[in-house]
């Protein structure tokens, strides 16, 4: 426990004493009155001198202080040596009997001192009854003080445990977020160079054959590279930005494949305002080109449509390339992993005999 925490605990104990001791003093007299309200002692109580009353109140207050301090000391000592969370029943019984023993010993010593200081004093039946009542009242007050102190201690321990548990959860969430960010960054780095180098050979041929078209090709290639540079550190981007990037990417594809690939795009304005992981559409288009034939006589159709404001459908015809090695599914796994890191919504894949379709959730962007 640090110094500040110890000082805070001591301050709390001081406040408890300031509140408890006056209440114990009042409770002591109230209980004494309720036990025997018609006793002659109460009938002539205020007929005594003020000095006699002050002496009695001082002695009673001293007794209340001793009972309070001892009760709190016993509870604090047992909190360290026998905590409630280990052996609750044993703790209850030990604390109960220790406090009873202390109060009985204290009352006995108090009366022996009174007999010693009073000359020729003989104890009668009334005195024995008063001592019994005083002992019972003191025991009850002592147990009440311990109950209040124990309740305060348990409540403070529960609050401390709740705060520590919350801090641990926050730390765990922070570490998980850090790990997820690192994983997401690694996934994006897999995509950055994926299609850029595939276009260098096309650009080389265009420079030799059609310099004007080569300039357009290079311009769109630079737009793609600029997009990668600007969004490499982003987890989500607006769909309209991804679509602008995809249009430049489609331009490169049309140069490479000509009329053998046909694109359709129909996206609502509201869907364009939602978020999507960067390069998701590019990866799906590249997968479609990688695993299907592209023929002028039978063009590969790739469609991007919004099914709703929160769902995007990317589909393509299935014309598998003959004798191609089986797909490892790394592209789709990459997309699944990125969505898993960013949201609890997962893409849905549907495959029919002649059609492959991926439903991508669109994510609400933070304002």
DSSP string, 184-202: HHHHHHHHTTTTTGGGHHH
All residue ranges of the chain with pLDDT < 70 are: 1-18, 33, 35-45, 111-131, 149, 151-153, 157, 171-198, 232, 325-329, 367
pLDDT for the residue numbered 137: 74
pLDDT for the residue numbered 1: 47
Alpha helices in the chain (DSSP H): 3-35, 40-43, 50-81, 88-117, 125-191, 200-209, 211-231, 239-257, 269-272, 280-291, 330-342
Find the helix or strand (DSSP H, E) in which 311 lies: strand 311-317
CA contacts within 13 A on the Cβ side of 29: 15
140 & 70 share domain:
yes
CA dist list (Å): 75 to 61, 79, 267: 21, 6, 71
CA 173 centroid distance within chain: 7
Kindly report, residue by residue over 132-168, the tens digit of the pLDDT. Answer: 777 777 777 777 777 776 766 677 767 777 777 777 7
> Rounded to an integer, what distance in angstroms lies between the CA atom of residue 51 and that of residue 317?
107
> Rounded to an integer, what distance in angstroms lies between the CA atom of residue 237 and that of residue 279?
10
> Residue 239's CB: how many other CB atoms inside 10 A?
26
277 & 350 share domain:
yes
> Residue 246's CB: how many other CB atoms inside 10 A?
23
Give the residues across from 355 on adjacent strands: 317
208 & 340 share domain:
yes
Instruction: Flag whether 250 is in a domain.
Output: yes
> Rounded to an integer, what distance in angstroms lies between the CA atom of residue 147 and that of residue 139?
12
CA pseudo-torsion sign 268, 269, 271, 276: positive
> Are 234 and 276 within 8 A, CB to CB?
no
205 & 159 share domain:
no
pLDDT for the residue numbered 274: 93
155 & 205 share domain:
no
> Rounded to an integer, what distance in angstroms lies between the CA atom of residue 302 and that of residue 289?
9
Concatenate the DSSP letters of all residues of 254-273 into one string: HHHHGGGEEEEEE--HHHHT
- Residue ending a domain, choose from 173, 207, 228: 173
> Are 293 and 319 within 8 A, CB to CB?
yes
311-317/348-351 β-pairing = unpaired
CA contacts within 13 A on the Cβ side of 153: 20
Instruction: Flag whether 44 is in a domain.
Output: yes
Instruction: Flag whether 187 is in a domain.
Output: no
**Domain total in the chain:** 2
CA dist list (Å): 90 to 3, 77, 87, 147, 177: 32, 15, 5, 16, 45
148 & 228 share domain:
no
Residue 350 phi/psi, 5° resolution?
-125, 135
pLDDT for the residue numbered 347: 93
Instruction: Flag whether 89 is in a domain.
Output: yes
pTM of the full structure: 0.51
State the CATH number of the domain containing residue 261.
3.30.565.10
CA dist list (Å): 315 to 124, 263, 269, 307: 105, 10, 20, 12
pLDDT for the residue numbered 192: 47
136 & 264 share domain:
no
**Containing domain of residue 209, as a range?**
192-361
243 & 304 share domain:
yes
Query: How far apart, in Å, do the first and last CA atoms of the chain sit?
Result: 43
> Rounded to an integer, what distance in angstroms lies between the CA atom of residue 276 and that of residue 312?
10
Instruction: Flag whether 291 is in a domain.
Output: yes
151 & 234 share domain:
no
Kindly report, residue by residue over 312-350, the tens digit of the pLDDT. Answer: 999 999 988 887 766 656 778 878 888 887 888 899 999
151 & 221 share domain:
no
Find the helix or strand (DSSP H, E) in which 350 lies: strand 348-351
> Rounded to an integer, what distance in angstroms lies between the CA atom of residue 59 and that of residue 117?
14
> Are 104 and 138 within 8 A, CB to CB?
no
CA dist list (Å): 273 to 100, 278, 307: 74, 14, 14
pLDDT for the residue numbered 229: 77
Instruction: Give the CA dihedral 49, 53, 55, 61, nearest 10 degrees.
Output: -170
57 & 153 share domain:
yes
> Are 102 and 74 within 8 A, CB to CB?
yes
């Amino acid at each position: 426990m640090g110094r500040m925490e110890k000082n805070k605990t001591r301050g709390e104990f001081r406040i408890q004493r300031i509140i408890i001791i006056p209440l114990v003093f009042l409770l002591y007299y109230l209980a004494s009155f309720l036990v025997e309200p018609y006793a002659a002692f109460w009938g002539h109580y205020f007929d005594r001198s003020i000095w006699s009353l002050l002496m009695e109140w001082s002695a009673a207050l001293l007794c209340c202080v001793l009972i309070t301090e001892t009760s709190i000391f016993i509870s604090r000592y047992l909190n360290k040596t026998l905590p409630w969370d280990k052996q609750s029943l044993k703790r209850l019984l030990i604390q109960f009997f220790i406090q009873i023993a202390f109060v009985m010993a204290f009352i006995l010593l108090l009366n022996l001192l009174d007999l010693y200081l009073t000359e020729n004093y003989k104890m009668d039946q009334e005195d024995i009854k008063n001592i019994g009542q005083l002992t019972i009242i003191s025991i009850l007050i002592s147990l009440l003080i311990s109950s209040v102190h124990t309740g305060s201690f348990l409540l403070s321990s529960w609050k401390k445990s709740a705060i520590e548990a919350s801090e641990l959860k926050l730390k765990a969430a922070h570490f998980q977020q850090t790990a997820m960010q690192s994983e997401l960054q690694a996934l994006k780095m897999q995509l950055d160079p994926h299609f850029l180098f595939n276009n260098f050979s096309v650009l080389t041929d265009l420079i030799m054959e059609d310099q004007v078209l080569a300039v357009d090709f290079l311009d769109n290639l630079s737009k793609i590279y600029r997009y990668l540079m600007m969004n490499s550190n982003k987890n989500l981007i607006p769909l309209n930005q991804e679509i602008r990037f995809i249009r430049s990417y489609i331009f490169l594809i049309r140069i490479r494949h000509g009329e053998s690939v046909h694109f359709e795009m129909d996206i609502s304005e509201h869907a364009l305002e939602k978020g999507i992981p960067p390069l998701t559409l590019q990866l799906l288009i590249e997968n479609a080109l990688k695993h299907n034939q592209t023929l002028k006589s039978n063009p590969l159709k790739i469609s991007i449509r919004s099914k709703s404001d929160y769902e995007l459908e990317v589909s393509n015809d299935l014309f598998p390339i003959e004798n191609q090695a089986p797909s490892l599914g790394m592209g789709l796994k990459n997309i699944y992993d990125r969505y898993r890191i960013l949201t609890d919504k997962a893409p849905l894949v549907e495959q029919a005999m002649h059609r492959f379709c991926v439903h991508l959730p669109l994510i609400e962007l933070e304002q």
